[in-house]
Each structure stands twice: as C-alpha cells, then as structure tokens.
Chain A
Amino acid sequence: MAQAAAMTLGLRVNDVTGQKSSRASAVPLSSTIGELVQGLLAKMGLARNDSEGRPLQYYARLEREGRHLNGSELVGDSLQEDDELTLTPNIEAGGY
C-alpha cells in the first residue's frame, strides 16, 4: 500500500477565475499532463467544448514555477505533492 501511495500525488486545482477549486488525490505519477488535464476537466465539471461542440484547449499552469506545462510532460517529472495548478483555456468570444 505504501509503495502504491508513492506512485501518486495530490494537487490543488483551480479554474481560471478562482471560483472553483478542487483537491485531486492519487494522481498517478506516470500520467501525462495532458491526461491529467482531461481528467480534471471531466471531474471538476468544467466546460470541454465550445458553442460549436469543438474541444476547448486547456493548459495547466503550475503556480510554483509560473509556467504553463506541456501536455506531454509527466506528472512525476514536473509536479510535486501539494502543487497548485490553474486550468487556463484558449476560448473565443464572437460577434457576428
């Protein structure tokens, strides 16, 4: 059990407005950041598609380092226990 626990970590995750915060636990170190982001979007109930049904592109910003993580990075390589992530989207407002 202890060995299994060392293969995961816990994080605090916020939406971009700071109005939704969650605690993610048992995040596998072997997951990619991209997989983590998709999982967080689903479990936090954040919007995943735009008005046309196309997937929204989200990035995970690591507050400790002040940078957006690359989707191919591994959780175990880039994150530490209790790190704080902010999920930031590329999102459009449209006129006509």
Chain B
Amino acid sequence: MDIDYTYALDFYRTDGTALGQRPLDPDWTPALEWVHFEGIREGRLPAVMAVNRAPGAGRVEPVWHPQSGQPYVSGFRVVLSANGADAVSRQIPTAYLRGTAQRAAAAFVEQGLLQTGEAFQYLVSAFVGRHPHALDVAAGGFAVEEIAQPLPLTAASLETYVAGAVPAGGDHVAGDFSVFVRQAVVDEAAALSRQAGDVETGGVLVGLLHHDPSVPEVFAEVTAQIAAPHTEAAPTKLTFTPDTWSAVRAALALRKRGELMMGWWHYHPDFCRLRHCPEEKRRLCTASSAFFSGEDIALHTALFARAYNTALLISDSAASGLTPSAFGWRQGMVTARGFYTLTAPRTWQPAAIERGAGG
C-alpha cells in the first residue's frame, strides 16, 4: 500500500543555530516527468508523455538519512508504475528542494533572523501523512482532460550520430539524454547574438526525437533555430511576447518537417563590460561565465517542462568570447549539461515515424 508523506525543512545558520521549521508541499511534477522519460528511454514505459498521470501511477518516497535516520531525508525515490507493477525508479537528491528552501528562507530574512544573502543550511524531514492540498477552484467549474500525445519518434542509429558528432558545452554526465545540435544552429545563434550586441536576443530550437531500439535509447536532434521576433530586448532581459510565440509557431508549421519545439536559446551579453567592471577583473568575474538565471530557469520550467527539452545559451565574455552552453533536465532540475554538435552535412529525409503506443 502506498504511503503518503508530508515534508518539512529545518533551517539552521551556518554556526548550527536553529532558525525554525517550515512545512513543504513540493511540486514533484518535474521529477515525475524526468523519471517517466527515463522509463521511455529504457523501453520500460510507452512513449507517451502525460503531465497528469493516473492516481497511483507515480509516487515519491523519502530515502532516510543513513546516519541521522528518520525523519531526516537524504534523498527521494521516484517510482512510476505501469500495469500495476513498479516499472522504473530513480533517486533524486535533496538539492531538488533547493529553490524551495531559498524561497522559504526569505521569511527568515523578513523576520530579521537572517541577513539578505546570508548562507544557511537546511535539513529535509518526512512524516507519514497526507498534505492538505489547497483547493484550487477554477472559475466556471468546467472540466479539462489532458490529451495524451505519443512522442513522434523517428528511427535512427545513435552510433551513427555519435560518430559524426563533437562534444560541446558543459560536462557530459553518464546517463544524460543525448542532444545533438547541428552546427548551423549554433552558428546562426552566435551570428544573431553578435548582431544583438549589448541586448539579449533569442529564439526557439526545433528538431526531432530519435529512437534507437538496438540500445534502446531516445535522443534529440536540434535541426534548426527560429529567431524570436516581436521580443522586448534589454541588456539583462528578454521578453517573449504572445506575438513572438504566434510567429514562431507559424514558422514551424511552414517547415512541414514534423519537427517539435525542442527548446529555446538566448544570448547573454558581456555583463562585466556592461557593468563597466575594470578590465583586469573581467576575466575572473562570475558574470563572465555561462549561467542560467532564476528567470531563465523559470521560463524553461514554465514552457519547456518535458524532460527532453533543452536550452542553448550563447554568452559573451572577455575571457572566452561568444561561447555556447546547454541546459536541460536532470533529476527533475534544470542544470548545465553537455551536448554534441553535428558537423557533417545532413540530408533531411522523411523517416518512418514510430508512434508511441497508448499508455
């Protein structure tokens, strides 16, 4: 029988002084989404993505701290079931709740118990019991039913792609979902970034999801980027407007290549130069390294929540010039990741599209 747990965070100053406990209602959706995709990659789950899973189809259990024991938690085990049996599970770290902890710590700052920017520590605790979810009564009382969409997978050889690819971006972590980006996409994004100069710019990445049944594995190919029009651009901000999305969707439809919106890309200007940092300090400045801001993570989480969604960041700095890096989902968190560039010319051919079986 599945057991429900409620969670809480115990906060401490770095000297060990207790600040207090705050109850949590974690959003496990990204974690469930990631594990679901892991199951699809392994061929254990049908290739259908659905946000709202049937009750009991997914659960999260605490992993008790090996030294402190209950109720303290050292991680979480996310389990997805299919046909009444546990199909796939993964363990995720307590870092999954880091953002939640930072937001909760703001209360201690307001109370004067913590200084703004002061470091703190937290422990996660779990207790048996069902969290009283706040009722969210939507206007009108109408019903909404998700339409389960099979992933449009095209058959391809992972080995062939790897043979023609060059590793790029951040660390390639074993087990990461592979993302291949055509060199032309990176080149176009860099050119648009150079053209944008001192303001941010960006676009949408489109491409295909491939399936290699011999492994088995699912991997992505970013085939093109669609520059985002109708944006509001500033040195540290880029707003994608409703007109942006309408234009991008229209451009994607015109391509008629069965491509998906795989993710997005955007450009960070040389913030050190824009802030007039002394030249001798720019090479060491943290703002000169590629990073995903809180707003970037929020956008990716809001719009590109599928576990296979990826973001490219073109960042400019005195130390490295224009540099591409990638961010994507790992263990339900948006993190820096590696990718591959495809340097060999690719001839697009309509491939047999495998439709994921209904779940």
Whole-angstrom CA separation of A85 from B76 in the bound complex: 37
- Establish whether residues A92 and B140, one from each chain, have CB atoms under 8 Å apart when the complex forms: no
The 8 Å CB contact of B236, one of A8, A22, A50, A96, is: A96
Q: How many A residues touch the partner, as a band? A: 35 or more
B276-306: CB near A (< 8 Å → 1, else 0) gives 0000000000010000011111110111111
- Establish whether residues B295 and A43, one from each chain, have CB atoms under 8 Å apart when the complex forms: no
Interface residues of A in 21-62 (CB under 8 A from B): 21-28, 31, 35-36, 38-40, 42-47, 50-51, 56, 59, 61
B303: chain A residues at CB < 8 Å are 15-17, 47, 89, 91
- Establish whether residues A92 and B146, one from each chain, have CB atoms under 8 Å apart when the complex forms: no
Whole-angstrom CA separation of A72 from B306 in the bound complex: 32
- Establish whether residues B142 and A24, one from each chain, have CB atoms under 8 Å apart when the complex forms: yes
Interface residues contributed by chain B, number (CB under 8 Å) = 51
Does A93 touch B at the CB level, under 8 Å?
A: yes
A36: chain B residues at CB < 8 Å are 139-140
- Take A38-B138, A42-B138, A94-B237 as given contacts and tell me if A21 and B242 are in contact as well, using a CB distance cutoff of 8 Å: no
- Establish whether residues B143 and A45, one from each chain, have CB atoms under 8 Å apart when the complex forms: no
B148 to chain A, nearest CB (A): 9
- Take A93-B202, A96-B293 as given contacts and tell me if A39 and B239 are in contact as well, using a CB distance cutoff of 8 Å: no
Interface residues of B in 158-215 (CB under 8 A from A): 200, 202
The 8 Å CB contact of A51, one of B239, B245, B297, B309, is: B297
A47: chain B residues at CB < 8 Å are 298, 301-303
The 8 Å CB contact of A95, one of B52, B235, B306, is: B235
B327 to chain A, nearest CB (A): 11
- Establish whether residues A91 and B249, one from each chain, have CB atoms under 8 Å apart when the complex forms: no
- Establish whether residues B144 and A43, one from each chain, have CB atoms under 8 Å apart when the complex forms: yes
Q: Which chain A residue has the least Cβ–Cβ distance from B308?
A: A19
- Establish whether residues A39 and B200, one from each chain, have CB atoms under 8 Å apart when the complex forms: no
- Establish whether residues B260 and A90, one from each chain, have CB atoms under 8 Å apart when the complex forms: no
- Establish whether residues B142 and A27, one from each chain, have CB atoms under 8 Å apart when the complex forms: yes
Q: Which chain B residue has the least Cβ–Cβ distance from A28?
A: B140
- Establish whether residues A90 and B240, one from each chain, have CB atoms under 8 Å apart when the complex forms: yes
- Take A21-B149, A88-B242 as given contacts and tell me if A26 and B142 are in contact as well, using a CB distance cutoff of 8 Å: yes
A12: chain B residues at CB < 8 Å are 147
Does B266 touch A at the CB level, under 8 Å?
A: yes
Does B337 touch A at the CB level, under 8 Å?
A: no
**For A17, A47, A91, which residue has the most chain B Cβ atoms within 10 angstroms?**
A17
A91: chain B residues at CB < 8 Å are 239-240, 299, 302-303
- Establish whether residues A56 and B239, one from each chain, have CB atoms under 8 Å apart when the complex forms: no
> Total A-B residue pairs with C-beta atoms closer than 8 Å?
152
A83 to chain B, nearest CB (A): 14
What does DSSP make chain B's interface, helix, strand, loop or mixed?
Answer: mixed
Q: Which chain A residue has the least Cβ–Cβ distance from B248?
A: A16
A58 to chain B, nearest CB (A): 8
Whole-angstrom CA separation of A27 from B275 in the bound complex: 51
B249: chain A residues at CB < 8 Å are 16, 18, 86
Does B95 touch A at the CB level, under 8 Å?
A: no
- Establish whether residues A88 and B294, one from each chain, have CB atoms under 8 Å apart when the complex forms: no
Does B51 touch A at the CB level, under 8 Å?
A: yes
A50: chain B residues at CB < 8 Å are 295, 298
The 8 Å CB contact of A90, one of B29, B239, B268, is: B239
Does B261 touch A at the CB level, under 8 Å?
A: yes
B15: chain A residues at CB < 8 Å are none
- Take A51-B294, A96-B271 as given contacts and tell me if A35 and B140 are in contact as well, using a CB distance cutoff of 8 Å: yes
A45: chain B residues at CB < 8 Å are 29, 51-52
Task: Spell out A's residues near B (CB within 8 Å).
Answer: 8, 12-13, 15-28, 31, 35-36, 38-40, 42-47, 50-51, 56, 59, 61, 66, 68, 86, 88-96
Q: Which 10 A-B pairs have the closest CB atoms?
A: A94-B295, A47-B302, A39-B138, A51-B298, A43-B144, A88-B242, A95-B236, A35-B139, A21-B147, A51-B294
